[in-house]
């Protein structure tokens, strides 16, 4: 039951912001709002960090601009702390909510961080 709620909750959150575009700075090296950012248009690919995560931060790398869980490449988050993600140039978009401002640390990252929470939930390997 919890697995279904987490997946449904993510899909609802993604749907809520799917129609909006994120605001990135002119160089495309930071993200300061809860939104979906298009890779190569709104932001650059690379490794981003945030240390301003609010009480609950969630993010997802996406292979398509759709609210479907099949578009999720990787997810992650933080609780009252920092988060790091490597966004690939082959990713289509990046979704973020509650994470504060993301700042590009290096534009030459080659891999992401693990499988993410949603991947674990979908495969059944995450705790319920």
pLDDT band at 7 (very low <50, low <70, confident <90, very high): very low
Distance between CA 71 and CA 118 in Å, rounded? 11
Alpha carbons 82 and 26: distance in angstroms, whole number? 24
| 91-107: burial string, b at 16+ Cβ within 10 Å, e else | bbbbbbbbbbbbbbeee
- How many C-alpha atoms does 54 have within 13 Å on its Cβ side? 13
Q: In this predicted model, what pLDDT tens digit does every residue of 72-91 receive, in sequence order?
A: 999 999 887 889 999 999 99
**Residue 34: CB atoms within 10 Å:** 19
Give yes or no for a contact between 85 and 76, defined as CB atoms under 8 angstroms apart: yes
């Amino acid at each position: 039951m919890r697995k279904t709620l987490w997946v449904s909750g993510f899909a609802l959150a993604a749907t809520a912001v799917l129609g909006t575009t994120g605001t990135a700075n002119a160089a495309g090296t930071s993200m300061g709002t809860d939104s979906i950012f298009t890779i190569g248009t709104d932001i650059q690919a690379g490794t981003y960090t945030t240390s301003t995560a609010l009480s609950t931060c969630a993010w997802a790398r996406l292979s398509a601009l759709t609210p479907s869980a099949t578009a999720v490449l990787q997810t992650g988050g933080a609780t009252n702390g920092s988060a790091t993600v490597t966004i690939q140039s082959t990713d289509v978009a990046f979704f973020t909510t509650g994470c504060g401002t993301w700042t590009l640390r290096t534009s030459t990252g080659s891999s992401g961080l693990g499988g993410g929470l949603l991947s674990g939930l979908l495969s059944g390997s995450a705790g319920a």
